[in-house]
A and B are shown apart, each in its own frame.
Chain A
Amino acid sequence: MRLSAKSLERRFSIERLYLLVRNRLYDEAPTLLIGAAIVAGLNALSLVLAKTAFFNIVSAETPNGAFWTLAIVLGGLFLAGASLKGMHDGRGQTDWLLLPATSVEKYAAALVDVVVVFPLIAAAAGVALSALLALVEVLIGGPGNPIWLPGMGELKAWGGFAVAATVFIAGSSAFRKAPFLKTGGIVLGFAFVFALALALLVAQFVYGGWENGISFMNGRFYSGSDEIVSESAVRAMQAAFDIAVYAFLPVLAVLFGAAKVSEKEAKDEVQ
């Protein structure tokens, strides 16, 4: 596919976005295949040792697809953490910056790739691999666990993944070295500070002190065995938290990351 001269004048071109996503998939294909091979290998080992593919196991602790979902989410977050490494690469950076596509398109390509395309491809590959493992399991006389098929639970998990992915992509735009670890560290740090601040505020202003300590379990605040915050107040807090995490956080992360890509210059190379 070649772009038309007319498309160059557009600030945002779907054709360019397609080419950028396609190029990303070409680059990522070997890594994704290695990831799939690792999953297949681990399950092959469990087939040999216990006659069961452990990713397909269904129990009270591991609902159907828990391992598959976890593997895809973790794989996607690693991918998100490395999604913009090209713009920090000492030698390839100039080529990355000067590839004839706008900064917005380059950033959008990372988002589309990680948030949409990767989960779809990974889920399809997961279903196929799950079916293959289930077949082998039956053939070798195993228990015959069900094939994993993504459903509403996975769709909900995808929502959380999409938010986290935007944060890790933003981290990839900001950090040159170890972006996944640094972004994960910052997220955990913020979560800890937020939880601590919330607990102190609740203790001080709702309960009137923290001499007896407070705890938060199953969506309720307690001091000893007394519930100290009403159910409606907890619901309001939860709603505020959801708006912050599912609406403001991804928007801020996308704006931050896009700005970092836009302002990037080829200064990392030795001058």
Chain B
Amino acid sequence: MVRIESLVFGYAAKPVIDGLGLRLERGRAYGLLGLNGAGKTSLLKLIAGALRPRSGRIEVWGRDPSGRGAAALADIAFVPEDPWLPALTSAAYLERFAAFRPSFDIKRFEELRRELDIVDPKPVSKLSYGQRKKFALAAALASGAGTILLDEPTNGLDIPSKMQFRKVLASSISEDRVILVSTHQVRDLENLIDPVLIVDSGMLAFEIESEAIGAKLGSTRATSLSGLEVVHAERDALGWNALVARRGAGTSAMPADIEMLFNAALAKPERLAAVLADAALTPYPVEGSEK
């Protein structure tokens, strides 16, 4: 498991991550959402040990990754958004790099390669962006690491590959590991990630379990918002697209749209927090006369 306390990190004077605290439990795949520049990639790199915090503490399965001890590094697999692969054949890649990870399962890697339809050209650096990504994912999931960190894993994957990825990731969730997925493509992963973590202004703004999302929030389309307990609403050509509280008039709403949930967390955090805490909502403030 991963424990983060009072984490502060930045590239310039102003911190990107400012006092963040987080606890990731084994057996779960967490979704990390945030705006561009919110510090998602930095957070993954901090957990991986590639960056070091200005202050605060990170512990991954009882070890401090910033010390970059061999055991800590072997127990973490980080797949960046645009993975780099050397100019080696797949076999040579495994010979050189899997050797450093005693728990690397080469049989599992080959299975994943087949499941993800990864072609075997020579060398792997010549693979397309999507193929490189799938190769790196397969290597991470076969690494035997207890912490898997994925940065935008579905970016650049075609639709069948996204499906394969979801299947592979679902089969890789186990009690001996924790998975953290940073993504903007929330719809690609919304049935996999639980809970959802939303970072904003350098802090963890929300940590919401999918059970709570399902029980307390829903999405609906409406021409008018009256009579709805609206958390957040966006107007489009067909009317309103709204995230609503499930209680009362929102009971018949569709499952909550994760993108709307994310927008609500940033635009109307106090309303979202109120619904999650089962507190009453004030009338939704509609700008202009659309109401």
Contact = CB atoms under 8 A, between A and B. Distances in A.
B78 interface: yes
Nearest to A9: B71
Interface in B18-41: 37, 41
Pick from B51, B69, B78, B97 the residue with the most CB of A within 10 Å. Answer: B69
Contact of A100 (B37, B84, B92, B100): B100
Given A9-B71, A98-B50, A19 B84 contact: no
B99 A19 contact: yes
A101 B99 CA distance: 11
Interface in B35-86: 37, 41-42, 45, 48-52, 68-71, 73-74, 76, 78, 80, 82, 84, 86
Nearest to B88: A26
B96 A26 contact: yes
Given A265-B50, A271-B41, A98 B78 contact: yes
Nearest to B74: A100
Given A8-B70, A11-B69, A16 B76 contact: no
A268 to B, nearest CB: 11
A266 B50 contact: yes
A5 B74 CA distance: 10
Contact of A266 (B45, B70, B82, B98): B45
Contact of A23 (B69, B80, B96): B96
Contacts of A99: 73, 97, 100
B51 A3 contact: no
Interface stretch (A89-97, A127-135, A163-171, A213-221): A89-97
Interface string A1-30: 111110111110100100100010010000
Contacts of B86: 92
Contacts of B68: 97-98, 102-103, 262
A156 interface: no
B102 A8 contact: yes
Interface in A6-57: 7-11, 13, 16, 19, 23, 26
B162 interface: no
Nearest to A106: B68
Contact of B80 (A7, A10, A94): A94
A85 B111 CA distance: 34
B70 A10 contact: yes
Contact of B100 (A9, A19, A97): A19
A23 B97 CA distance: 9
Contacts of B42: 271
A213 B128 CA distance: 68
Contacts of A265: 50-52
Contacts of A4: 102
Pick from B52, B68, B74 the residue with the most CB of A within 10 Å. Answer: B68
B166 interface: no
Contacts of A102: 68-70
A100 B101 contact: yes
B191 interface: no
B103 interface: yes
A56 to B, nearest CB: 36
A101 B51 contact: no
A94 B73 contact: no
A16 B80 contact: no
Interface string B203-225: 00000000000000000000000
Contacts of A95: 84
Given A10-B70, A271-B41, A16 B50 contact: no
Interface in A89-122: 89, 91-92, 94-95, 97-103, 105
A137 B92 CA distance: 40
15 contacts: A2-B99, A4-B102, A16-B70, A89-B84, A91-B82, A92-B84, A94-B50, A94-B84, A95-B84, A98-B76, A99-B97, A100-B74, A100-B101, A265-B50, A265-B52
Interface of B: 11, 37, 41-42, 45, 48-52, 68-71, 73-74, 76, 78, 80, 82, 84, 86, 92, 96-104
Q: Which 7 A-B pairs have the closest CB atoms?
A: A100-B74, A266-B50, A100-B73, A8-B71, A91-B84, A100-B100, A5-B102
Given A3-B102, A11-B69, 9 more contacts: A1-B99, A19-B100, A91-B82, A94-B45, A94-B78, A98-B49, A99-B73, A100-B70, A100-B71
